[in-house]
Structure 1
Amino acid sequence: MQYKKSPHSIDDQIELLKERGLTIDEKDLANHYLTHVSYYRLAGYWWPMQSDKEKHIFKEGSLFSDVIHLYNFDRELKLLVFDVIEKIEISLRTKLIYHLSHEYDPWWFENVSLFNDSQALIKTLYSLQEEVERSKETFMKEHKKKYKNDCRFPPAWKTLELTSFGGLSKLYGNLKNTIKSKDVIAEDFGAVNHTYLPSWLQSIAQIRNICAHHARLWNKNLPGTVKLLSKPPKAWIADVPKQHEFQRLYIHLCIMKYMVNIIAPENTFTKRLLNLFEKYPSVDPNALGMKENWEKEDLWK
């Protein structure tokens, strides 16, 4: 079976949505958004409003304005989450550079003997090499000029400044469990030991990529799972989601909040998240897996 549908004009897209039952009170508003935000990007937000997913028929009372509220809520949510992840990323980078460089040497990330999976390390180093080669950072240009005969990577405090959160997460997770710094870093983040932190970082890296690529975060089924401490040393939540609820964003937000409370104790994550829900009252918090009275949990106070 071949795909035979033709492209639709903006006017045709609007008429199609109306024919399928989506109420569009302001055609100018619809025209504006469909001109700047593609039909299929917005489709992710009106998908739950459809009663017939095959024929794309909307439930009675479905409004285009609610679609836009969801889209704008999601956009602002991603900006908020990305801001929190930035703090975690910078802290993780700092700790990896500091602890491993002192426990071993500034080129520990090249040392195959420190890692479980040598093939995974090679892939990480290949990505690092690409970043180093195309870097326009002054400190990297100066290093290449001054140490042009040194065939190694620049030391960790230079090279890892160019690494993505995903790369940092992979380096940490791939470290052998006998490496002292692996437990030290986990303890610094309130994760007690190396057992839990890798899954937290993998989760955050996935969410960071969603935010960085401007994909939909609202109502997203997140891949993978996270390991939770039975008795965290820092403030946590009493109402912990069940395992099948881990695909929703809430537990991942809790992990970010747990870590950022250590990194930046005076953070305003709770206030900003509450303000976002207040700004967009039509957004159902259940789509993110938010628990009732989540803001009253010790973690979020």
Structure 2
Amino acid sequence: MHNLRKIVTLYQSRFGLKHKNMSKLAIPISEQIERLKKKGLDTSCFSEDKVKEILLDIGYYRFGYYCHPFMDNTSDTFKDGTKIGTIIDLYYLDTDLKYLLQKYINRIEINFRTKLIYFVSMKYKKDPTWFINNEVMEQSFIDKFEDIYSEKFKTENLTIKKHHKKYPDDSFAPVWKTFEYLTLGAIITVFSNIKDEDIKIRISDCYGIRDLNKFLRLLHTVRQVRNICAHSGVLFDYRLPQSINSIPQITFNGSDRNSVDACIKVICFFTKCISTNRHNDIEKEVKELFYSFEKNEQIKKIITDKINYNF
């Protein structure tokens, strides 16, 4: 959190967003453009109207995140020759990569949720709401989940609403209905709080991993990338706060197990466990996306240095 505050402060300072209470005051597009020009950004590749369109589309503040690699850290100005088109190229690289990964993360999420529901439900066939059974789950999880499964949860989620209308005496809908409305993070939390280690190993073994700590670290890697993609965060320079565990199935670039490329390799690993065709698809699509910038030396350098992808 401390590092995040430092980064935000840096962006505020660079783009004239911080002095007294100026961070709370809006400035017109024309002034935004002038500030960028005064800092040395070359906007001549676009018309004034196009630059305005860009800033109204992306936002002046968000635009600043993608300017960062092209700034001179000593003077808070753009490096010589920096063109707005290059910054937009980086923005679309980041956006397209997030769209691409999100598609495959969705597949991983559904696959993992399905296996979790199936294997635990087969173990406890007579209890379709095993997620609130303290013989199955840790009590601390059950206490928190009972708060999540609120009246709002029951009325805002259509399948759950229909279930309780049809079965008014049920306190909870069956797991295969309920878990459809949980996030990937919540599903991982369910997995972590299952008491029976053998069931958890049986699920992780579906992906060729028997070490539960390593398996959970891989799942959390997918979750972290998923959250960035789903909430339109900045991905290209993301670094995992905790390194991915080394496993024989994944070959990382050098010793770097925190980069975006390392995250992509984890996502590719899971897709290979699910479908060979999907694994081939994601590898091809990632390669095509990165190689589409092969002749753009500035973006290629970011792909190599920040994302850690090897051309």
Normalising by structure 2, we get a TM-score of: 0.83
Q: Partner amino acid for 2:169?
A: N
Deviation (angstroms), 1:65:
0.5
Alignment equivalent of 2:293, drawn from 280, 286, 299 = 280
1:111 maps to 2:133: yes
Alignment equivalent of 1:169, drawn from 170, 188, 203 = 188
% identical aligned pairs: 27
Structure 1 spans left out of the alignment, 5+ residues: 294-301
1:21 aligns to what?
40
**CA 121–30 in structure 1, closer or farther in 2 if over 3 Å, else same:** farther
Aligned equivalents of 1:162, 1:90: Cα separation in 2 = 11
What is the aligned residue count?
Answer: 281
Aligned equivalents of 1:217, 1:130: Cα separation in 2 = 36
Alignment equivalent of 1:90, drawn from 81, 94, 110 = 110
1:297 aligns to what?
none
Aligned equivalents of 1:221, 1:130: Cα separation in 2 = 38
1:253 maps to 2:264: yes
1:298 aligns to what?
none
Alignment equivalent of 2:277, drawn from 266, 272, 282 = 266
Per mean C-alpha deviation after superposition, the further-off stretch among 156-165 and 273-282 is 273-282
- Does the CA contact (< 8 Å) of 1:131 and 1:162 recur in 2? no
- Does the CA contact (< 8 Å) of 2:157 and 2:181 recur in 1? no
- Does the CA contact (< 8 Å) of 1:128 and 1:162 recur in 2? no
Q: Partner amino acid for 2:134?
A: V
Aligned equivalents of 1:132, 1:70: Cα separation in 2 = 39
- Does the CA contact (< 8 Å) of 2:133 and 2:142 recur in 1? no
Q: Partner amino acid for 2:179?
A: L
Q: Partner amino acid for 2:276?
A: P
Aligned equivalents of 1:289, 1:100: Cα separation in 2 = 38
Deviation (angstroms), 1:169:
1.1
Which structure carries more helix by proportion?
2
**CA 60–171 in structure 1, closer or farther in 2 if over 3 Å, else same:** same
Structure with the bigger RCO (C-alpha within 8 Å, sep 6+) is 1
Deviation (angstroms), 1:121:
4.6
Aligned equivalents of 2:208, 2:263: Cα separation in 1 = 15
Aligned equivalents of 1:202, 1:35: Cα separation in 2 = 34
| Residues 197-221 of structure 1: CA deviation (Å, up to 9, x unaligned) | 1111112111111111111111123
